[in-house]
Structure 1
């Protein structure tokens, strides 16, 4: 079950001007992808793909995974600050959680188009349907940590799926 908090209208309507007003807002909204009128989480997840591909040119996957730890902490801060500015704890346009989580999933994904497509689909599936315990954390943990945590758990589910299916992809 998705958080009903994402349906609460913001006190400030997000715009490019809002994103430019603070670096945390730009980061939280995935460099603008969270402004998408439809499926901002999906657009935010897509942003992770070129970022991850660029990082893979210079870094091995285990180092990228380690890099995701401070990026997660930065996401908690940015989502908290942006949520407060909007007056909505977990506004749907805040997509830094999808970006970091998808990057984590890709660290465990074979480097083929089919595997990346499967990783994307699995992550979005778990992020959208929020099976237990994702839904439990989504309902109970608020603020920046809550924004980031449910996607981290969805990433763990997707990683388990990728590892389980890796002999087929």
Structure 2
């Protein structure tokens, strides 16, 4: 695993996003929700096996968080890059209430929730920018 596993995991999410991006919005959201739910179990099991709550090698949460980020974004590389940067910013800084939930919620939900919320914050900003640029 590279030095910055969260960044690496988010980079892995980009080709997954490119595969899902052409889908209808409801299908995209359904797939993302399914990946979130599957991630709860996968992350909990992996964390238990590694003996660490949110081991750096667990990047499923970053993948889902980035997919959430891009859910309302327009098509185009500039949006992919902007989404990447915003998601990483919120995932690293963990503004309220992300940090509280990251520390207070355990198990697979705890691993997934901070990245999900970082994705929501990022999606709202991307969507707002896209509206302003119309």
| 2:122 equivalent in structure 1 | 158
TM-score by length of 1: 0.75
- 5+ long unaligned stretches in structure 2: none
Matched, 1:75 2:36: no
- Structure 1: unaligned runs, 5 residues or longer: 1-34
Specify which of 76, 97, 102 is matched with residue 112 of structure 1: 76
Instruction: Determine the structure 2 residue equivalent to 1:127.
Output: 91
Alignment of 1:42-57 (within 5 A): 42-57=7-22
Which residue number corresponds to residue 62 of structure 1? 26
Equivalent residues, number: 133
Using the alignment, how far apart are the partners of 2:36 and 2:47 within structure 1?
16
Deviations 1:27-68 (A, max 9, x none): xxxxxxxx22x11101101111101112234x2233111111
Structure 2 equivalent of residue 39 of structure 1: 4
Considering only CA atoms, is the larger Rg found in Structure 1 or Structure 2?
1
Q: Which residue of 2 aligns with 1:140?
A: 104
Q: TM-score, normalised by structure 2?
A: 0.93
Structure in which a larger fraction of residues adopt helix: 2
- Hey, what does 2:52 align to over in structure 1? 88
